[in-house]
């Protein structure tokens, strides 16, 4: 089946965004990119730091409420609709719910050609990137490095601990059908 959607799952500061930019450059067709950060940025301010929306804990933990979940489901369906309309799409996500997060995307992307990619990175390396970025709650990268992959199956995995984004993107691009 032709790949219509690439789903990248990895913890904060694992290197997903860099891989996305490289994929957009090296893949022969144009690919749209949508990340969980785009979704969170689109939320109304009243859903940030709200039990109904999303809360970023001081220790790097993240919790989401019912309004977040409802809007997130609608967002996933919207991304899927773009792919069904002919756009090729790369999704940059963080599966905080493990297998249930993947299942949410599987439901939305049913019938589409999807390449599932795990983006791994050593927690200490991701934590260093987090500090260098300066735009994340410290502790988020280390806390998410392993948990987002627990129980999740992939077609392909890359590890950015010692591998550059472009090299990871080339490995992924080679699997795009």
Q: Which residues are catalytic?
A: 37
Mapped to the 3 state alphabet, what secondary structure does the chain carry?
CCCCEEEEECCCCCCHHHHHHHHHHHCCCCEEEEEHHHHHHHCCHHHECCCCCEEECCCCCEEECHHHHHHHHHHHHHHHHHHHCCCEEEEEECCCCCHHHHHHHHHHCCCCCEEEEEEECCHHHHHHHHHHHCCCCCCHHHHHHHHCCCCCCCCEEEECCCCCHHHHHHHHHCCCC
CB 126 within 8 A of CB 11: yes
Q: In what order do the strands lie in the sheet with 156-159?
A: 31-35, 88-93, 5-9, 114-120, 156-159
């Amino acid at each position: 089946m032709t790949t219509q959607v690439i789903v990248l799952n990895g913890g904060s500061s694992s290197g997903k965004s860099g891989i996305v930019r490289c994929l957009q450059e090296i893949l022969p067709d144009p690919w749209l990119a949508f990340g969980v950060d785009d979704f969170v940025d689109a939320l109304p301010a009243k859903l940030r730091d709200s039990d109904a929306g999303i809360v970023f804990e001081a220790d790097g933990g993240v919790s989401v409420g019912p309004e977040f979940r409802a809007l997130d489901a609608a967002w996933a369906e919207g991304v899927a609709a773009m792919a069904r309309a002919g756009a090729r799409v790369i999704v940059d996500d963080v599966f905080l719910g493990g297998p249930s997060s993947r299942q949410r995307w599987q439901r939305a992307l049913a019938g589409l050609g999807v390449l599932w990619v795990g983006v791994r990175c050593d927690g200490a390396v991701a934590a260093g990137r987090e500090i260098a970025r300066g735009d994340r709650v410290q502790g988020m990268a280390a806390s998410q490095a392993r948990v987002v992959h627990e129980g999740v199956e992939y077609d392909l995995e890359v590890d950015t601990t010692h591998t550059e984004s472009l090299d990871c993107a080339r490995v992924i691009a080679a699997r795009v059908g």
